Amino acid sequence: MPKKTRLDDSAEIYKQRTDKTEREKLKEMNMKEKLAYLWEYYKTHALVIIIAVALIVYIIKEIITPDVVPKFNAAIINSPINTVELTEYGDSFEEWLQLDPERESVILNDNFYTDFGMGYTSIQTLVAYVSAGDLDVIIAPETEFAQYAKHGYFKNLSEALPTDVYSNLANYFYFSDLQDDPEKNPYGIYLDNSNLFKGKKYNSSSYVLGIVLNCPNADNSVEFIKYLFRNIEE
């Protein structure tokens, strides 16, 4: 006589279990369900692969792409020149220097202001550039320029400029003494007659250019001065 149990012989516990394969599961799904299932199942793997590929591409790009080296870097304080004109002027000066634009660049940085509550930040940034030896030229209204000249930021132009350039621009020099030297020397050039700053003033102050004492591109700084005044040299 069969042993009695509490469960019917046809109960689920007595049925043979069969796990469906991934292929069988997919066959029973529509396209939307298949995509959702595959994304849920493989998304972690996919993200890892995507990140790995992106990292490899980035590394390869960094290796094969040459660094663009600044061959001239000027800081313009309280610039009166609009961004488009300044960019075009920088591009034309690059051509003047015959630079390779994929490897070399000219920077005309006009992000320095002493008003609009930005004075302290601009000064600290400018000082950092100078301290790091990353700046070739500073252009500023005379009232601002005088402070930097007094503190010895600039080269004596009688020593920095070739004889012919010095002679041609003698009438435009800005003279200053230093904190530790009362003798006045030419440390700047007024830009009133230059082709970029002609007629430009800042609160009635003329713009003045000085070559930074520890500039990394001394020759190109001289070239920039020649480029600014090329209309009076020809």
Distance CA 130, CA 134 (A): 6
Reported as a single tens digit per residue, the pLDDT across 74-95 is 999 999 999 999 999 999 999 9
Where residue 234 falls among pLDDT bands split at 50, 70, 90? Answer: very low
12-16, 23-27, 200-204, 229-233: least confident range: 12-16
pLDDT number for residue 14: 47
Query: Does 69-233 carry CATH code 3.40.190.10?
Result: yes
Reported as a single tens digit per residue, the pLDDT across 25-74 is 666 777 777 667 666 766 676 677 778 777 776 666 655 556 789 999 99
46: Cα separation from own chain's centroid: 34
Between 14 and 47, residue with greater pLDDT: 47
Quote the crossing angle between the two packed helices 218-228 and 83-97, to the nearest 10°: 120
30-44, 167-181, 204-218: least confident range: 30-44
- Strand-pair partners of 72: 106
Domain residue ranges of the chain, discontinuous segments joined by +: 21-64, 69-233
- pTM reported for the whole predicted model: 0.72
Half-sphere exposure of 208 (CA within 13 A, CB side): 25
Instruction: Tell me the percentage of the chain whose pLDDT exceeds 90.
Output: 62
Q: Which of 11-15, 39-43, 49-53, 189-193 is predicted most confidently?
A: 189-193
Reported as a single tens digit per residue, the pLDDT across 91-131 is 999 999 999 988 999 999 999 998 765 677 888 999 999 99
The DSSP H or E segment spanning 26 is helix 22-27
- How large is the average pLDDT for residues 10-26? 56
Distance CA 152, CA 178 (A): 6
